[in-house]
Chain A
């Protein structure tokens, strides 16, 4: 079994799987059960300022999107930060950390955007024994209307300013949690770095409405006939999160800034992908909310088996894919593949045919016996057939070797060349 011990900005945990700040980490009872189930760390549900706690709705907080067999793919929530008194939370954090010294316990914070508020909350949490703080600049609903959460996360200057306050008033490692509700994730990440953040975590949830009730004509979740947008998370948001993590990991100005990857992590594989894309660890919310704390066992066994098979240490996986995450213009235009259908695996549903014939390049032939074959002289290798095929690995992309002639274009497969040097590109530099 590979060693999964993780050290993220000096915070140690037995594995890189943390629970994200959300209901699973809302209170002592949950967190103890999570640690007992094997989670390496938690980011405690976001705390607000001293004073009367915020109030949540007392109707549905969640909406959802399902796949086949009612598998939950996306979750939308309108829950706010903790609705329990600050003192109760702090007392619980103290107790839990004392009993689980080997686990990571980070406190998520969200207070009004003024120096006094931040100074005050930091002083109050100082002696809890917590390992670090996470600044919640991410929640896109409710709190944002009050000038907090994503309202801060969308303004890089605010991120920088608040981060600097936190670093000034506290010695704790500081993670800045970013909102994906921006046109580019880079300015917020850069601002966090300038402010002195030890790391960024992302993504928080994405503004969303999951559905509309067609009888009451209310967006969902519906509270007394009305609905407001919520925050979207779960497997559906993973691609968005992976891209943002990768963008930060590869950019010259943010490269090397530690990243805690969040968004749709459900299996060991998702976690490994985030790590390869530059995250130092991962945080999980929806998967735990869907299946319970026990799923971490699969993440642990799977990641450990993968590392063993690759003969890799955990830290060697981190960032492994980043050098390969490039701009479109850097892609090799002389790389040619063709779809190939494994006739033994094919179940003859014809979905590849419908997809290619109706919407793509008419490159699949169908015989009267329902034998489906690829026409190499038409196939542009778009991958759509692969994606719509219900059988994994039934259709695969086969690379054409150098020197072979592409029957579609009649051109010989040659060495690497990208758009920047392509003859069709009006601003191409002549190839050297």
Chain B
């Protein structure tokens, strides 16, 4: 007999295979040419546009939208990609509701922003569908740069460095390049293996060698990189996860949400992925929302996000929260995990209610329990495997200026570096800017 959302335990195929496949297809359909024309027409071509300021990579949004409006999406793509080489992925994953679209004058005036993200996707998809790589390398400089991590930060840095004429080698611990684009972003935001397609397209610039399965600290050391290369860029993200620090955390049904998501992203056929009837996700950010929503899309019956502080403190945007609740996820706030108990084949997670007061968060003493076949921890990632000798700030690599670490010749950017929001687009901006700084440093040392 086939499984359903009501089947007890952790089982695959709670929904028909086609339903699951449909659930993980494009969350937001791409615009067709007519829709793009209509959407582009709404842009006012504002002066010193607020959207452009809000974009961490400062894409010239009014210009690219005008280029779409005048029937030249390829030129629009060039405008986007010259600032943000992962403009295709960012178009899919950026929380535009808290970035460009939040400050669009039409959002402010009418509550309906110009659909910047979707237009950006229209332009970049058009260009990439032609297999065109619009940038060429400058004359070779003879300099070599090592990049650690093939996530958005590393890829953006590598591309900009290659474009400036340097030779780049990227080292990544994982078997595939892309970082969280490949292993973390929700499946329905990045369909049809887009992350790999984008990496392939990006590498067409030439001059970049990718060595996967090589970890800094395991296969190679910073000292070696410093010896063999003229500069090093660290874009290693946050490979560790925070612990719950609650008894029962070691139970086998309790896992980091990012591991669950990575597994889900790598599964070609989602209908073979086992999922619990009752799933509890602990955390309040984008990772919590993604783990919860995707559990639901796999057919879990009851999915609950539990966050220890008030709703206004959740780092998932209002839009993301709404996305979760409309997928059928329940969100409980002001409840902190106390313990995870084994309860027969399943578990029970015990929470204590909390209040946010002037002296911080305190427990009210009142507790409750949620049944769970699976518990996903989404309470933040941590820097792990950073080389010794680098100054840290707030648990991340300390940087000044455009990603300069405390060690000369070593730059860092993206999630692993202190400062900036942990977003794909921020990682791209930091990688790009560090590359410019590396280039300036290398050329000054002629």
Contact = CB atoms under 8 A, between A and B. Distances in A.
B354 interface: no
A118 to B, nearest CB: 40
Given A267-B69, A302-B72, A392-B37, 15 more contacts: A69-B42, A267-B66, A269-B70, A291-B45, A294-B47, A295-B66, A298-B66, A298-B67, A298-B70, A301-B75, A301-B79, A305-B72, A345-B34, A391-B34, A394-B34
Nearest to A344: B32
Nearest to B66: A298
Given A292-B47, A295-B45, A302 B70 contact: yes
Interface residues of A, number: 19
B45 A302 contact: no
Interface residues of B, number: 19
Interface in A290-326: 291-292, 294-295, 297-298, 301-302, 305-306
B63 interface: yes
A164 B74 CA distance: 48
26 contacts: A71-B41, A267-B69, A267-B70, A268-B70, A269-B70, A269-B71, A292-B45, A294-B62, A294-B63, A295-B45, A295-B66, A297-B63, A298-B63, A298-B72, A301-B67, A301-B72, A301-B78, A301-B79, A302-B70, A302-B75, A305-B74, A345-B34, A391-B34, A392-B34, A392-B37, A394-B34
Contacts of A306: 72
A13 to B, nearest CB: 21
Interface in A271-303: 291-292, 294-295, 297-298, 301-302
A69 to B, nearest CB: 7
A295 B70 CA distance: 11
Which residue among A71, A294, A392, A394 has the maximum number of chain B CB atoms within 10 Å of its CB? A294
Interface in A137-182: none
Contacts of B42: 69
With a 10 A CB-CB cut-off, give which of B33, B37, B70, B74 has the most chain A CB atoms: B70
Contacts of A305: 72, 74-75
Nearest to A309: B74
Interface of A: 69, 71, 267-269, 291-292, 294-295, 297-298, 301-302, 305-306, 345, 391-392, 394
Nearest to A269: B70
Interface of B: 33-34, 37, 41-42, 45, 47, 62-63, 66-67, 69-72, 74-75, 78-79
Nearest to B49: A294
Nearest to B37: A392
Contacts of B63: 294, 297-298
A345 B66 CA distance: 23
A180 B63 CA distance: 33
A301 B79 CA distance: 9
A301 B74 CA distance: 10
Contacts of B33: 392
A295 B43 CA distance: 13
By Cβ-Cβ distance, the 9 closest A-B pairs, closest first, are: A301-B75, A267-B70, A302-B72, A298-B66, A291-B45, A305-B75, A305-B72, A391-B34, A292-B47
Nearest to A304: B75
Nearest to A347: B34
B236 to A, nearest CB: 37
Contacts of B78: 301
B178 to A, nearest CB: 30
Contact of B67 (A291, A302, A392): A302
A268 to B, nearest CB: 6
A146 B79 CA distance: 49
A291 B62 CA distance: 10
Contacts of B66: 267, 295, 298
A210 to B, nearest CB: 21
Contacts of A269: 70-71
- Indicate the member of B37, B42, B71, B72 with the most A CB atoms within 10 Å: B72
Nearest to B34: A391
Contacts of A345: 34
A71 B79 CA distance: 24
A75 B78 CA distance: 33
A268 B72 contact: yes
A293 to B, nearest CB: 10
B243 to A, nearest CB: 51
A394 B41 CA distance: 18
Contacts of A301: 67, 72, 75, 78-79
Contacts of A292: 45, 47
Contact of A69 (B41, B62, B70, B75): B41
A392 to B, nearest CB: 6
Contacts of B69: 267
A402 B34 CA distance: 33
B153 to A, nearest CB: 29
A269 B79 CA distance: 18
Nearest to B32: A345
Contacts of B67: 298, 301-302
A295 B46 CA distance: 11
B49 to A, nearest CB: 10
A39 B220 CA distance: 52
A71 B43 CA distance: 10
Contacts of A392: 33-34, 37
A298 B70 CA distance: 8
